[in-house]
Amino acid sequence: MRKFWDNLKAADTHPTWAASLVRGRIVVPERLLIGGVAITPATVLAPMAGVTDTVFRRFIRNLGGCGLIMTEFTSADGILRARDKKAKRYLHFYEDEHPISAQLFGSDPKVMAEAASLVEDLGFDFVDLNLGCPAKKVVKCNGGSGLLRDLPWIRRIFEAVRARVTIPFTVKFRAGWSEQEIVCVELAKMAEDCGLCAVALHARTREQGYSGQARWDWIGAVKQAVKIPVIGNGDIRTPEDACSMVAQTGCDGVMIGRTAPANPWIFRQIQQHCSATGKRQGMATTLILSAERSPTNRDGRGSIGGDSIPTEDRSSPVPLGVAELARLPLPTTPDRAYEEPSETDRYQMIRTYFAMLIEEEMPGAEGKMKQFASWFTHGVPGGAALRKAIYEAENASEILRRVEEFFESRPRGRGVLAHET
């Protein structure tokens, strides 16, 4: 399926497309209203297990351009059990994360309603139901996409949750169990009928998992079938892809998942591309900033903090805070109206994110660093050697030191990243 648009005539008759025209181009809308809550711009960080914890969410939020962030998908049954501290930790967030949505999964309508009520009491702006996870252990318990074969049961969950909470209630789902069991349009209509405020469609089936190509025409079919906002998800890797999805489907917003860990700048790049300026300021081109100026601590007000970061040399400069990074420019390329990260920018991004993990005192920070290393070093020349050094490190301090040693030994000012060889 083509993911490039070259026909603007449809914008004359499609209200969403017409509202998304900027200088004759169809772009991602600047604003999306869901149940009275404004999402500006109309871009969403998809919930991802093991990825979208509070540190990564704040990291993305502070880089700019992301309108809505979401938690990792969380077991409704787990957060109601006093002994399940891990599930409760998934719902931890800070004030600077608003607007934020908590995503739940489960199959018991009463349990889902009770968990949704807890989410509302915690201060979340939205509660979202996961009907998309294809993992076998989730599907086996009739969670995630496992429920797509039982629409009447889904209706019971919709009604139970909607009756229990007053905050906007949304759902993220796949197109169906398989190519022979496509239910996305029927499910979207049912969601609208039950009072849900928006739907997000990952345009793949459960059987596809994350393979193959997302069918954006399914998103278009859902958009034509309902009046509530429709958010499109699947195969958005560049700002051009985001605009193409809106152009082809008329969706009201876009959701990005797997691209974000590899390119945390994607949301701001979309915003720049859609504004057609290419002049908005971006990530760092300088390497260090004194500890006194490093922002974003755990209470959302102050610094990442030099003394709280374990390094071998306590007098060495700490990473830039994300808010500081967002005020420094990146280069643009002639054929793209958005900024591209340089090797130096990726260095600063890796150090800053790792420092935030340590500051948060998150259990298993070392494992998280190693998990993210393969994404964050994508495109860095010699990145394989850096990943090996990170994987072999024994603690967080050593990981940071090895990152610093790798980049400090490299020449500066190389501009846009070269491809890894």
DSSP for 53-87, please give it.
SHHHHHHHHHHS---BEEPPPEEHHHHHSTT-HHH
Distance set, CA 91 to CA 65, 233, 324, 353 (Å): 23, 23, 27, 20
Tell which wins on pLDDT, 330 or 337: 337
pLDDT tens digits, residue range 374-396? 787 777 788 888 888 888 988 88
The pLDDT value recorded for residue 24 is 58
Average pLDDT in the 34-63 region?
94
Is the pLDDT at 196 greater than 90? The verdict is yes
Least confident among 43-52, 200-209, 304-313 = 304-313
The pLDDT value recorded for residue 332 is 46
Average pLDDT in the 84-106 region?
90
43, 242 contact by CB (below 8 A): yes
| Positions marked active-site | 133
pLDDT tens digits, residue range 165-190? 999 999 999 998 888 999 999 999 99
The pLDDT value recorded for residue 6 is 36
- Helix (H) or strand (E) segment spanning residue 128: strand 126-131
Top mean-pLDDT range of 62-76, 132-146, 264-278: 62-76
The pLDDT value recorded for residue 20 is 60
HSE-CB at 312 with a 13 A cutoff on CA atoms is: 9
Tell which wins on pLDDT, 297 or 199: 199
Is the pLDDT at 133 greater than 80? The verdict is no
DSSP letter at 46 equals P
Tell which wins on pLDDT, 140 or 278: 140
Least confident among 76-80, 302-306, 370-374, 414-418 = 302-306
Rg (CA), the chain: 21
Is the pLDDT at 164 greater than 90? The verdict is yes
Tell me the pLDDT band of 361, cut-offs 50, 70 and 90: confident
pLDDT tens digits, residue range 247-260? 999 999 999 999 99
Mean pLDDT estimate for the chain: 78
- Strand-pair category, 169-176 with 32-34: unpaired
How many angstroms separate the most distant Cα atoms in the chain?
63
Percentage of the residues of the chain whose pLDDT score is greater than 70: 76
The pLDDT value recorded for residue 154 is 96
The pLDDT value recorded for residue 83 is 64
Tell me the pLDDT band of 340, cut-offs 50, 70 and 90: confident
The model's pTM is 0.80
Alpha helices (runs of H) in 91-238, residue ranges in sequence order: 109-122, 136-139, 151-164, 184-193, 216-225
96, 58 contact by CB (below 8 A): yes
Instruction: Give the Cα separation of 150 and 108 in Å (integer).
Output: 13
